């Protein structure tokens, strides 16, 4: 991963100035539980060389481009002109995220081992959910609650179809609780987690261009079962909660 500064700025300094999940599929419903048409994602395919007498070919989009979600009928925002990876005519969707019952684990990590730490925490929560005989209600998420130059604090959450009656915890570390709720904008990252900072760069540029102000809270939903941070097949949806 690159230095922590990008997401540190996103989580803190960006709030002073301006700043859940993917089309496609999983056997389980998305965390946001929002039905929406599938959005077309920019493809990083090289432009064909133009003949000497023709106009120059249009450059391809960067591999880590953010693909804005399909617009909600009543909340539609046009793309940010001049922001790489976000077409001028693109739309983003502002979702009203409901709170959902979850099993969760509080944890901290440094940036270098962040993905490994998150995956380990999620595995711990999923094991306790299975042990308790509870049904998982969606893909696991990480809720980032605090970031700084050295690392971050987060909650690894596994959605449940329902809270277990009479229980507030599944173990000393795994508790029963609720996911964050509120208005959020969904962005997508497709590719290695090692490259996710480039997606946060695009998100930061987009929010700055639109003059949007965010809460000090963002969520990553992991749509694939990738365990390695360099796996290019990883799919992550990023939810930015706005004020």
Task: Encode pLDDT of 13-67 as tens digits.
Answer: 343 333 333 332 233 345 665 434 344 444 444 444 444 444 444 444 333 333 3
Average pLDDT in the 196-219 region? Answer: 88
Residue 149 has pLDDT above 90, yes or no: no
Please give the model's pTM, rounded to 2 decimal places: 0.69
What is the token pair recorded at 119?
Answer: 């995956």
| Euclidean distance between CA atoms 16 and 39, whole angstroms | 31
Residue 83 has pLDDT above 60, yes or no: no
Domains in the chain, start-ordered, CATH in brackets?
A: 1-33+64-243 (3.20.80.10)
The answer to whether the beta carbons of residues 150 and 11 sit under 8 Å apart is no
| Euclidean distance between CA atoms 78 and 232, whole angstroms | 29
Q: Which of 56-65, 84-93, 179-188 has the lowest mean pLDDT?
A: 56-65
Ordered alpha helix ranges (H), the chain: 5-8, 14-17, 114-131, 196-210
What is the token pair recorded at 28?
Answer: 């389980």
Per-residue confidence (pLDDT) for residue 147, from 0 to 100 = 87
């Amino acid at each position: 991963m690159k230095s922590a500064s990008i997401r540190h700025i996103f989580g803190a300094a960006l709030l002073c100035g301006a700043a859940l999940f993917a089309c496609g599929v999983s056997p389980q419903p998305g965390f946001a539980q929002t039905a929406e048409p599938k959005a077309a994602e920019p493809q990083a395919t090289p432009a064909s060389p133009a003949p000497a007498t023709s106009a120059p070919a249009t450059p391809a989009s960067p591999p880590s481009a953010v693909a804005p979600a399909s617009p909600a009928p009543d909340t539609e925002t046009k793309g940010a002109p001049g922001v790489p990876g976000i077409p001028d005519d693109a739309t983003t969707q502002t979702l009203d995220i409901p709170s959902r019952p979850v099993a969760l684990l509080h944890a901290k990590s440094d940036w270098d081992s962040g993905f490994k730490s998150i995956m380990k925490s999620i595995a711990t929560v999923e094991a306790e959910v299975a042990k308790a005989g509870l049904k998982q209600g969606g893909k696991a998420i990480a809720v980032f609650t605090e970031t700084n130059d050295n690392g971050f604090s987060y909650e690894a959450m596994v959605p449940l179809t329902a809270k277990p009656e009479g229980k507030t915890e599944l173990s000393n570390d795994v508790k029963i609780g609720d996911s964050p709720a509120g208005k959020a904008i969904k962005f997508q990252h497709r590719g290695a987690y090692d490259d996710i900072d480039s997606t946060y760069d695009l998100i930061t540029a987009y929010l700055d261009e639109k003059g949007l102000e965010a809460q000090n809270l963002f969520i990553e939903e992991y749509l694939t079962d990738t365990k390695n941070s360099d796996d290019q097949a990883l799919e992550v949806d990023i939810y930015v909660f706005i004020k």
